[in-house]
Structure 1
Amino acid sequence: MTNTQTALRASDKSSALMAVLFVALLGGATLFVAGHAQSAALHDAAHDMRHATGFPCH
């Protein structure tokens, strides 16, 4: 294996890790915002979705 191939594989792993971290952060931020929203409609929609997916919320 050449140095170029090794560098490309390391770059692929780094890109995949960054994508996973970004999606996890985005999902966490969405849950946080929807859970603490002042809008009753947004909060109720998030609350109903938590019940539908089996996520404990209270």
Structure 2
Amino acid sequence: MTTVTLKSSAISQSSLWAPALFLAIGIGIIFVAGHVQANTLHDVAHDVRHATGFPCH
């Protein structure tokens, strides 16, 4: 029988990457959306709706 021992520091460090990445992406999206012109943001959202086949009118 083989016993595997994991260090708790290795587990905690690897489990922090995903939340940190999602936080960075979220802050980036908010920063970009906050500084883009309203018409540009609307046009992008409008084009995505049409591309996915979602009716928007």
TM-score for the superposition, normalised by structure 1 = 0.51
* Shift in Å, 1:39: 5.4
Which segments of 5 or more consecutive residues in structure 1 lack a partner in the other structure?
A: 46-58
Q: Residue in 2 aligned with 1:55?
A: none
Alpha-carbon separation, structure 1, partners of 2:39 and 2:14: 38
**Deviation readout 1:17-50 (Å, 9 max, x if unpaired):** 111111101100001001101352416x8xxxxx
Q: Residue in 1 aligned with 2:29?
A: 30
Q: Percent identity at matched positions?
A: 32
Give the letter for the 1:30 counterpart: I
TM-score for the superposition, normalised by structure 2 = 0.52
Q: Which moved more, 1:34-43 or 1:10-19?
A: 34-43
Q: Give the number of the structure whose alpha-carbon radius of gyration is greater.
A: 2
RMSD: 2.9
